[in-house]
Every structure is written in C-alpha cells, then in structure tokens.
Amino acid sequence: MKWFADLCQCLKNVACRTKQEAQLLQHTQLQNRITELELYIYHTTAAQSFDYDADSLRVWNKNVDFMSDPRFRQAYFRGMDSGHQIGRAPGSHDDIHIEWRVHMLLWAASHAAHLEGDFVECGVNTGIFSLAICDYLDFNKTGKSFFLFDTFEGIPVEQMSEKEKAGKAEFNKTCFPECFEQAKANFQPYPSAILVRGKVPDTLTQVDIPKVAFLSIDLNIATPERLALCFFWDKLVSGAVIVLDDYGWKGYEEQKTALDDFARGKGVMIATLPTGQGLLLKP
C-alpha cells in the first residue's frame, strides 16, 4: 500500500501549495488595490486647487480668508519688505510666503495686546515678524514697549552644538548678514521698539522688563532658546502667549527637546502647529 501513502502525501502537498498560492494571490491583489487607491488620491489632490500651498504646508477645504484681509496684507508685507535675505538673494523683494506663520503671530500679538506687560522678541533679524506686529497693532497706540533682542549679524557659532554647526553653518552665512542699521531704520517709526544688540542670554539683563505679555523666540539653536524661555518665564503674566518659530520643524529636534524638557518641568505643554511653530500659554 506504499503507492496509496505516496498518493495521499502528494495530494497533501498539492493542497498546501494551492493554499499558499491562493494566499499569495490574495496578498498581491490587495497590494495592487492599495496602489490604485494611492494613485487616485495623489492625482485627485494634485489636480485640485489648494487653499494654501507654501512654507511646507499644503491645505485644502479650509477657510483662509485672512490671506485677503487688507489689514493683514499690509502688515505682512511690512515685514516681508524689511530687507531680509532669508530664502532670497540680497536686494530681492521676492515673497517667501510665510503667511500662515505670520497670521499665527498676529493672532498671538492681538491677544497679548489686551494683557498687562510688554512685548519681547528674541531673534529679530530685519524685523520680518515684529514689523508685521507693529503695523497690525498700530503699536504706538498700545502703550507698550517692544524689546527686540538679536546679534543682528547671525547665529553665534560658539552657542551651537556640533550637530547644529553641521546643519546650520551655510544657512547662517547666507541668510543672516550684518543688518543692525537696516533694522534700526525699519523700526524708526516705532519709538517704543527697543533694539538690544548682542547674544542671548547675555543681553537679557541689560533692560528692565518687569512683565511680559508676548514672547516670540526664533534663535534657531537650542541653548539660547531654552535660556531665554527660562529667563522670561516668571515675568510672563497669566495668559501671556509664547510663540516658538522653529519648534516643530524637522532639523530642529535639539530645540524641541530642550523646550519640551523646560515645559515639562513647569507642568505645561507646547502645542505643535501645522506651521511648524510651537504655541504655549502661560497659566
């Protein structure tokens, strides 16, 4: 009966092989269907008009009417036309399209305008953000001071970690040339805007700022950002807004880690915005 046993084994092998082939076929068909759906989604979204498509942020089916608001546009281009060299050649007037980031800053500043305390920006350059805020709020009428801290000549290399040096050296050289005189001229219409030149945190004690309602930090590296937040924390009034420009961007993980550690120690949480900014409210 050996022939019978061999036949049974042969039938078992065929059945096993057939089952495996069926599973493989089913898996292949599923993968093909997934690929078809992915291509459909890609071509559908690529064909439509996006409501916002700039600054590594692509948005559709959202209301972006702030983009066409005359008050917003005037403030936005007040900062954009400040003479900066970020993402454009010297002397260029190209718009680098950071509207949504500026929108968030103007929202934060508008909220802070109703609070007790002054405004602070650490990382100013030519005033892309702070000039927009001054224009939008008609800052001379707020009764507040706007303290603007920067070297006005780029990121101090000695404050960078080795990883930051490797990733930001070229960016630092091309985007942040000497700009102090340009910044002074830009803020001349705003007498309560006080430019403080030098490295953060060294310069933070050079001016007296008892209370802070608004704090913007955009220093591009971790150490001075954490030290600035630490320095101003107790000066921030309840409800004060802190905007962290680099917080959620890839390539800035050292900053995010340092700021998250600080926030965790204070029992608060930083919100990651789709713009790449971090948003924090002082309890």
Task: Identify the CATH number of the domain in which residue 199 sits.
Answer: 3.40.50.150
- Number of separate domains in the chain: 2
Whether 29 and 159 share a structural domain: no
Report strand pairing: 236-244 vs 278-281: antiparallel
Tell me what pLDDT residue 9 has.
63
Whether 204 and 168 share a structural domain: yes
Q: Is residue 225 within 8 Å of residue 217, measured between CB atoms?
A: yes
| Three-class SS state of 102 | helix
Neighbours of 185 (CB within 10 A): 13
Whether 179 and 251 share a structural domain: yes
Whether 37 and 58 share a structural domain: no
Tell me what pLDDT residue 45 has.
57
Residues 42 and 26: their CA atoms lie apart, in Å, by 24
Closest CA to 215 of 56, 93, 108, 71: 108
Tell me what pLDDT residue 215 has.
99
Whether 59 and 37 share a structural domain: no
Quote the domain boundaries for residue 16.
2-48
Using alpha carbons, list the distances in angstroms from residue 283 to 125, 138, 225, 238, 267: 30, 27, 20, 5, 10
Tell me what pLDDT residue 214 has.
99
Note down pLDDT in tens along the chain; length 283 residues: 555 456 456 556 655 566 666 676 677 777 788 877 766 666 665 546 899 999 999 999 999 999 999 999 999 999 999 999 999 999 999 999 999 999 999 999 999 999 999 999 999 999 999 999 999 999 999 999 999 999 999 999 999 999 999 988 888 989 999 999 999 999 999 999 999 999 999 999 999 999 999 999 999 999 999 999 999 999 999 999 999 999 999 999 999 999 999 999 999 999 999 999 999 999 9
Whether 164 and 29 share a structural domain: no
Tell me what pLDDT residue 28 has.
76
Whether 83 and 174 share a structural domain: yes
Whether 25 and 135 share a structural domain: no
Domain boundary among 48, 66, 82: 48
